[in-house]
Amino acid sequence: MKLVGTPMKIALLPGDGIGPEIAREAVKVLDALKRDGLDIAIDEAPIGGAGHDAAGHPLPDATLALARAADAILMGAVGGPRYDTLPRALRPEQGILGIRKALGLFANLRPAMLFPELAEASTLKPEVVAGLDILIVRELTGDIYFGEPRGRRTTERGEPEGFDTMRYAKSEIERIARVGFRAAQKRGKKLTSVDKANVLDTSILWREVVSALSAEYPDVALSHMYVDNAAMQLVRAPKTFDVIVTGNLFGDILSDEASMLAGSIGMLPSASLDAHGKGLYEPIHGSAPDIAGRDAANPLAMILSMAMMFRYTFAREDVAAKIERAVRAVLARGLRTADIARPGEAVAGTRAMGDAVVAAL
């Protein structure tokens, strides 16, 4: 946790492809906030393919040490065709998986928001999604993805069979549910817990544990929803949700579904938090090698990830809201990178978009 009077220590890990380009724009915004009096210290280190180039590993020891010492980690994106032939243990994505594991980042926060100015970018009708602002809190380190036993075996009839184990311990459910309740307290005070308690024993326990916790958060209205219904409601009436909390498997699917409501992947931030509020903040998109080096990437997902960092790690709602207001003002003025422009509309580059956000701050 950050001590009063010490700078906010941010580890900046630009990564590969468009990663360094969007990181540069994030630094511009941080520099502007510094000029406004925020005490911020930024240290940069390579990760992913850049880590491999610099130190022979996607997560160099020095990078992990820097991430451990920081209050928050701001990451661009990793990966690229140059690294596709490396052995699995040296591939760029191992850098992210390694850092998540080493830092115990168990809570994944994915907002799906659609600025009214971009309502046309969604595949859903503008009236269904304009102004959408929901948050999905997904457990990241348990569930059927990690449960044992798992594997393949042969049935008594000699047929091959695959099997996995869904499991959640009470303590794991409690800690992710608390993240959901606290996030709801900072937002619209509504929490929907998503499970499959009509079929799965794991989900019955999940529902019991989340229900019991709600007594500690009387200001948050808790409801429960089966995952199949949640998938349906997300496209039918997504604006009825505020915060959704769910397990790893259901969250994986629902968060991707929700991100499509918001149109471009260049707009969506994310956070992965540990038990003490330390977090890794990154856009949900990848390194976009197809547009890297062409000043064509949308830096807003990265800049909005930074807003989440101020909200969740540094408890500076004022700074988070200020960044989000600046982004909204820039969009309202009609500035668009190629991914969010309508056909025929004038297109701004990565740098111009970053400069405009700084000016709007």
Candidates 58, 142, 269, 286; binder of ligand NAD (CB under 6 A) is 286
Q: Which of 9, 34, 190, 252 is catalytic?
A: 252
In angstroms, what is the minimal distance from the CB of 96 to ligand NAD?
A: 6
Instruction: For residue 287, give both structure tokens.
Output: 């390194």
Q: Contacting ligand NAD (CB under 6 A), which of 298, 305, 335, 356?
A: 298
Closest CB 211 distance from ligand NAD, rounded Å: 34
Q: Reply yes or no on whether 168 is catalytic.
A: no
Shortest Cβ 111–ligand NAD spacing (Å) = 16
**Beta bridge partner(s), residue 9:** 41
Closer Cβ to ligand NAD, 16 or 139, answer by number: 16
Q: Does the annotation mark 252 as catalytic?
A: yes
Choose the stretch contacting ligand NAD; rule: CB under 6 A; options: 24-32, 53-61, 226-234, 296-304.
Answer: 296-304
Comparing CB distances to ligand NAD, the nearer of 48 and 180 is 48
Nearer to ligand NAD, 73 or 210 (CB): 73
Q: Is 357 in the site for ligand NAD (CB under 6 A)?
A: no
Stretch that binds ligand NAD, among 56-64, 72-80, 182-190, 317-325 (CB under 6 A): 72-80
Asked if 9 is an active-site residue, the reply is: no
- Indicate which single residue of 45, 222, 301, 327 sits in contact with ligand NAD (rule: CB under 6 A): 301
Active-site choice (2, 9, 34, 145):
145
Tell whether residue 361 is a contact of ligand NAD (CB under 6 A). no
Site for ligand NAD in 7-26 (CB under 6 A): 18
List of residues 6+ apart from 278 with CB closer than 8 A: 71, 72, 103, 313
Query: Does residue 256 have an active-site annotation?
Result: yes
* Smallest gap from residue 290 Cβ to ligand NAD (A): 5
Does 266 participate in binding ligand NAD (rule CB under 6 A)?
yes
CA distance 64 to 13: 10
* One-letter-per-residue 3-state SS of the chain: CCCCCCCEEEEEEEECCCHHHHHHHHHHHHHHHHHCCCCEEEEECCCCHHHHHHHCCCCCHHHHHHHHHCCEEEEEECCCHHHCCCCHHHCCHHHHHHHHHHCCCCEEEEEEECCHHHHHHCCCCHHHHCCCEEEEEEECCCHHHCCCCCEEEECCCCCEEEECCCCCCHHHHHHHHHHHHHHHHHCCCEEEEEECCCCCHHHHHHHHHHHHHHHHCCCCEEEEEEHHHHHHHHHHCHHHCCEEEECHHHHHHHHHHHHHHCCCHHHCEEEEECCCCCEEEEECCCCCCCCCCCCCCCCHHHHHHHHHHHHHCCCCHHHHHHHHHHHHHHHHCCCCCHHHCCCCCCCCCHHHHHHHHHHHC
**Binding window for ligand NAD (CB under 6 A); candidates: 27-35, 71-79, 106-114, 119-127:** 71-79
Query: Which residues inside 75-104 make contact with ligand NAD, applying CB under 6 A?
Result: 77-80, 93, 96
Q: Which residues are catalytic?
A: 145, 196, 228, 252, 256
Contacting residues toward ligand NAD, per CB under 6 A:
18, 77-80, 93, 96, 265-266, 282, 285-291, 297-298, 301, 339
